[in-house]
Structure 1
Amino acid sequence: MLEILPETHDDMLAVRVSGELTNEDVDLYRDLIRGRMKQYGAARLYYEMVNLTWVKPGAALENALFDLVHGRAYDRVAMVGEKVWQKWAANLISPVKKKGVRYFELAEREQAMRWVQTGQE
Structure 2
Amino acid sequence: MSEFQHGFSISIQRTGDERVLLAMHARGKLEHQDYETLVPMLESAIAGMQHPKIDVLMDLRELEGWEIRAAWDDLKLGLKHGRQFNRVAIVGNKSWQETASKIGSWFIGGEARFFEDRAPALAWLQETA
TM-score, with length taken from structure 1: 0.83
Structure 2 residue 33 is matched with structure 1 residue 33: no
Specify the code of the residue in structure 1 equivalent to 2:59.
Answer: E
Gaps of 5+ in 1: none
Q: 1:119 deviation in Å?
A: 4.3
Structure 2 residue 75 is matched with structure 1 residue 64: yes
1:1-12 to structure 2, matched below 5 A, reads 1-5=7-11, 8-10=12-14, 11-12=20-21
Q: 1:80 deviation in Å?
A: 0.9
Structure 2 residue 53 is matched with structure 1 residue 49: no
Contact (CA 8 Å) 1:14, 1:47: kept in 2 or not?
yes
CA–CA separation in structure 1 for the residues paired with 2:46 and 2:114: 22
Structure with the higher strand share, 1 or 2 = 2
Higher mean displacement: 96-105 or 84-93: 96-105
Q: Deviations over 1:44-101 (max 9, x none)?
A: 1111112222311101112112202221011111111111111111100112212121
Higher mean displacement: 91-100 or 28-37: 28-37
1:40-119 to structure 2, matched below 5 A, reads 40=49, 41-105=52-116, 108-119=117-128
Alignment length, in residue pairs? Answer: 116
Structure 1's consecutive aligned runs of 4 or more residues displaced over 6 angstroms after TM superposition are: none
CA–CA separation in structure 1 for the residues paired with 2:62 and 2:107: 26
Structure with the higher helix share, 1 or 2 = 1
Whichever of the two has the greater Rg, that structure is 2
Specify the code of the residue in structure 1 equivalent to 2:10.
Answer: I
Q: 1:111 deviation in Å?
A: 0.7
TM-score, with length taken from structure 2: 0.79
CA–CA separation in structure 1 for the residues paired with 2:86 and 2:115: 17
Q: Deviations over 1:11-50 (max 9, x none)?
A: 1110100112121212222223223333442211111112
